[in-house]
Every structure is written in C-alpha cells, then in structure tokens.
C-alpha cells in the first residue's frame, strides 16, 4: 500500500516504521530538519528487550505536488489536526482512506471536512511508544489496534487490517469500535489526566486517597455519559479495571503528563472535553469532567505566559 503518516511523533514513528517494512510509507512532519534526518537515517525502534531495528520510510515536511495516497493515517496531537490536514490535503484524493488513531474521541467531525464519510476510519490502539530522540522511539506497550467506520460496513477495510498484521501490528476491524474508544477514553480521562495535573507517575493516582477519590468520580461520570450515548459500562467494573491497570504499571508516564511538563497544549479537549460536550449534547451534566478540562486549559495558559 501507498501510506502517508501525518505526524512524526512517537506513535507516528512507531506505526510508520513498522508499516514501512512491507509498504511504501511516507512520514509527514512539520520540522524540515527532522524530516531530513529520518529520510537519511531512518527510524530506529527499540523494543523493551533492548533489541533495536531501523526502518527506512520516506520522510518530507512539504507535500505540495505529491500524489494522493491510498491510506492517510493522522497521528498529530488533536489540537494540530486541522492545520495538518489543511497543509497536507494534496495527499487526500477521491479514493483515499483517511484514518485517525489519535487519543480521545470525536475526531471524525473534522475528518469529514476532508474525506467522504465512507472513506473514514476511526480507531484505537493499545500500542505504546515514547520518543528517545528525533528519529528513535521505544516500543513501550504491545497490544492490538481496532478499526471501525462511521458509516457502511467495516469489513470493506479488512485489507488495511491485513496490511497492519503483515507488519507485526495486530489489528482487527470491528463494528464495536466506538465502545472500544470509550473504554480507552475511560483511562485517559481519569487516571491519565490526573497524573498530568499533579505531574506524577500514573500509579500515584491509585496510591493517593484524594486523587483516587477524584478518579472514581470521573469514572462514574464517564460511564453515565457513555451509557446515555448508547455504550454500556458498569462504573464498579471500570473502577476495578483502572485500579488494576495502575497497580500493574505504576511507573508509567502519560502523554498528557509530558505535554503539561513541556508546556505544550494537551489533548484534554478531545478527552475530558469530549465527555463534557457529549453530556451537554445529551442534556445531562458532567461537572467533574468540565472542571478537569478547565483546569488543564488554565495550566496551558500559564505555560504560555498568559496568566
């Protein structure tokens, strides 16, 4: 397949690197120097075992004049999505499949401005990665990727799941993808965001009584909103699941932690903000998610010197 990956961050490099083993992959980044470095020296992926392998996708920072790709995967931060799609819209032709594997939910509303609904894939992944340098990442979490659609039958994209599978990226197409997105959102919008606010490893959220109390309120609220939206979750089961997750990986640091620490804008608007917006749409309240969203946005303002 002819694949373009928009966003050369940790996850973009992980997927772009693996997919380039058997497909024609082009990495698209904003930084010309970084793009040149990847083009010349490749992407090195380090496994948790310490084993390293270097992959050699193409890499550019300017896509003007390029032909449309068969598949475009969006891996930018959600706040940069529109700018990235607008800048690289030459890659999206009439038959291009446009995919998001970004954190959070609700990205399809933007994607519909750039591709027909029947050509859009929404997905979620359990793969994990963090940057070592501008062309190297550590493959920190191994899991499956789920792909779904916003209209039509998901089976028509089975060949894309097969393409991922060929490159050691376990993948499935499913009609249940929105349920799975809500499930991942459950962790990101509770323990992950709280670890980012207090700037600690995620295990501290389960260890600290006050933080865990807030986490449980967030989880209960997310479950209520998801259920109202037609996706069934039990708050007690989800609380137990997330507590076990934190205990099994207490030293993990999340992307929202890294963004706040580095003074960058976070994806909270598509995480807790999505929960709050969905609640408003459904005519119910989600005050804890609203407060957390506003708190993180306030922290972003402080980092930018506006407060």
- What b/e string do you get for 117-140 counting C-beta neighbours within 10 Å, with b at 16 or more? eebbbbbbbebbbbbeebbbbbbb
Strand 24-28 to 71-74 pairing: unpaired
Same domain, 197 and 128: no
pLDDT at res. 304: 59
Do 297 and 184 fall within a single domain?
A: yes
The mean pLDDT value for 195-208 works out to 95
pLDDT averaged over the chain?
95
Tens-place pLDDT, residues 252-289: 888 899 899 988 899 999 999 999 999 999 999 999 99
What CATH number does the domain containing 102 carry?
Answer: 3.40.50.720
**CA distance linking residue 239 with residue 124, whole number of Å:** 20
State pTM to two decimals.
0.91
306 has pLDDT over 80: no
Sequence-distant (6+) residues with CB within 8 A of 202 are 191, 192, 195, 246, 249, 250, 252, 253, 254, 257
pLDDT computed for residue 302 by the predictor: 73
Q: Mark whether 165 and 184 lie in a shared domain.
A: no
Q: Which residues contact 115 (CB under 8 A, 6 or more apart)?
A: 92, 96, 97, 98
Share of the chain above pLDDT 90, in %: 90
End-to-end C-alpha distance for the chain, whole angstroms? 48
Which residue bears the tokens 């209960």? 220
Whether residues 168 and 282 fall in one domain: no
Token pair 């990101």 in the structure block, residue = 188
- Taking the CB of residue 78, how many other CB atoms lie within 10 A of it? 24
pLDDT over 80 (residue 143): yes
pLDDT tens, residue by residue, 202-260 = 999 999 999 999 999 999 999 999 999 999 999 999 999 999 999 988 888 888 998 99
Question: Under a CB-based contact definition with an 8 Å cutoff, are residues 229 and 171 in contact?
Answer: no
Q: Are residues 50 and 132 in the same domain?
A: yes
The least confident of 53-57, 257-261, 303-307 is 303-307
For the domain that residue 262 is a member of, what is the CATH number? Answer: 1.10.1040.10
**Residues 67-124 pLDDT 10s:** 999 999 999 999 999 999 999 999 999 999 999 999 999 999 999 999 999 999 999 9
Nearest CA among 6, 3, 189 for reference residue 81: 6
The dihedral sign for the CA sequence 229, 234, 239, 242: negative
Domain boundary among 126, 141, 175: 175
Closest Cα partner for 96 from 58, 131, 70? 70
Q: Are residues 91 and 149 both part of a single domain?
A: yes
Cα–Cα distance, 257 to 254 (Å, whole number): 5
Question: What is the count of structural domains for the chain?
Answer: 2
Comparing C-alpha atoms, which of 121, 76, 79, 63 is closest to residue 96?
Answer: 121
Both 108 and 229 in a single domain? Answer: no
Owner of token pair 């969006």: 74
Q: Are residues 12 and 103 in the same domain?
A: yes
Q: Which structural domain, as residue segments, surrounds residue 236? A: 178-303
The separation between CA 208 and the C-alpha centre of its own chain, rounded to angstroms, equals 27
**Residue 165 clears pLDDT 70, i.e. is over it:** yes
Query: What strand order describes the sheet that includes 24-28?
Result: 58-60, 24-28, 2-6, 71-74, 97-100, 120-125, 145-149, 171-173
| 58 and 145 belong to one structural domain | yes
- Alpha-carbon distance of 174 to 181, in angstroms, equals 12
The Cα–Cα gap between 210 and 20 comes to 46
Confidence of residue 307 (pLDDT cuts 50, 70, 90): very low
User: Looking at the structure, do residues 159 and 184 belong to the same domain, yes or no?
Assistant: no
Final residue before a domain boundary, out of 117, 152, 175: 175
């Amino acid at each position: 397949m002819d694949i373009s990956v928009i966003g050369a961050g940790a996850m973009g490099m992980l997927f772009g690197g693996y997919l380039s083993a058997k497909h024609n992959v082009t990495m698209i980044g904003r930084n010309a120097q970084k793009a040149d470095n990847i083009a010349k020296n490749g992407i090195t992926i380090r496994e948790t075992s310490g084993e390293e392998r270097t992959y050699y996708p193409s890499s550019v920072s300017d896509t003007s004049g390029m032909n449309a790709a068969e598949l475009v995967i969006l891996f930018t931060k959600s706040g940069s999505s529109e700018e990235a799609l607008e800048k690289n819209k030459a890659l999206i032709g009439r038959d291009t499949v446009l995919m998001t594997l970004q954190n959070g939910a609700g990205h399809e509303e933007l994607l519909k401005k750039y591709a027909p609904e029947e050509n859009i894939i929404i997905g979620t992944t359990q793969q994990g990665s963090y940057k070592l340098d501008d062309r190297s990442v550590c493959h920190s979490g191994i899991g499956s990727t789920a792909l779904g659609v916003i209209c039509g039958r998901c089976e028509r994209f089975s060949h894309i799941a097969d393409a991922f599978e060929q490159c050691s990226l376990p993948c499935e197409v499913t009609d249940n993808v929105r349920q799975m997105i809500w499930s991942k959102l459950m962790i990101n919008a509770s323990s992950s965001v709280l670890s980012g606010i207090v700037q600690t490893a995620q295990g501290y959220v389960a260890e600290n009584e006050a933080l865990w109390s807030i986490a449980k309120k967030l989880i209960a609220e997310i479950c209520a909103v998801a259920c109202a939206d037609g996706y069934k979750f039990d708050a007690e089961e989800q609380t137990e699941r997330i507590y076990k997750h934190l205990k099994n990986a207490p030293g993990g640091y999340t992307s929202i932690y890294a963004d706040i620490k580095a003074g960058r804008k976070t994806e909270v608007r598509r995480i807790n903000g999505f929960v709050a917006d969905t609640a408003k749409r459904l005519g119910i309240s989600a005050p804890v998610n609203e407060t957390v969203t506003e708190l993180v946005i306030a922290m972003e303002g402080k980092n930018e010197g506006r407060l």
